Amino acid sequence: MEIIMLIGIPASGKSSFYQERFAASHLRINRDMLKTQARTSSLFEWCLARKQSCVIDNTNTTRAVRSRWITSAREKDIPVIGFFFESKLEVALERNREREGAARIRDAGVSYLHSQLQLPSLGEGFFSLFFVRLADSRFEVEPWNHFC
């Protein structure tokens, strides 16, 4: 069992990455789908109790937010693997503008989350970390230590 944590601003490719790499094997935990933090936390606790691998598909932009997930997983000796998505503001704004309906958020929201984004580190309790870049409609994944 493992916990996958996706980290990045809106429209950086997190949900598409989940669909491509983890949809067949990991349950998706996403606040946009579940609507409340209480439901999100409840589903995460369910996964921990049943040893169900899952992906936390939220922005997870700050150490404080990531800490809640990591602490709970580490208490049960479950590894957390982080994937940090390249988060260039102008690229994300352009991708976000291509979204329709509820999937599109205000530019101010994307900009705010970009301003709050804190780089992750192994010191937070991650088992391993990776850097993800979307290039030519495909994901490139590299070890995190390459970027630190």
The pLDDT assigned to 135 comes to 85
Task: Give yes or no for a contact between 83 and 73, defined as CB atoms under 8 angstroms apart.
Answer: no
* Neighbour tally for 134: CB within 10 Å: 17
Confidence class of residue 121 from pLDDT cuts 50, 70 and 90?
A: very high
Residue 104: which CATH number? 3.40.50.300
* Neighbour tally for 60: CB within 10 Å: 23
The pLDDT assigned to 27 comes to 96
23-66 pLDDT, tens digit per residue, is 999 999 998 777 888 999 999 999 999 999 999 999 999 999 99
CA 58 to chain centre: 5
Domain containing residue 21: 3-147
Query: DSSP strand E in the chain: where?
Result: 3-7, 27-29, 54-57, 80-85, 128-135, 138-143
Number of independent structural domains in the chain = 1
Confidence class of residue 131 from pLDDT cuts 50, 70 and 90?
A: very high
Identify the helix (H) or strand (E) that includes residue 105: none
The values of phi and psi at residue 77, to 5°, are 55, 40
112 burial class (0-12, 13-18, 19+ CB within 10 angstroms)? middle
Task: Give yes or no for a contact between 56 and 3, defined as CB atoms under 8 angstroms apart.
Answer: yes
Distance between CA 147 and CA 83 in Å, rounded? 13
Task: Give yes or no for a contact between 43 and 29, defined as CB atoms under 8 angstroms apart.
Answer: yes
Confidence class of residue 72 from pLDDT cuts 50, 70 and 90?
A: very high
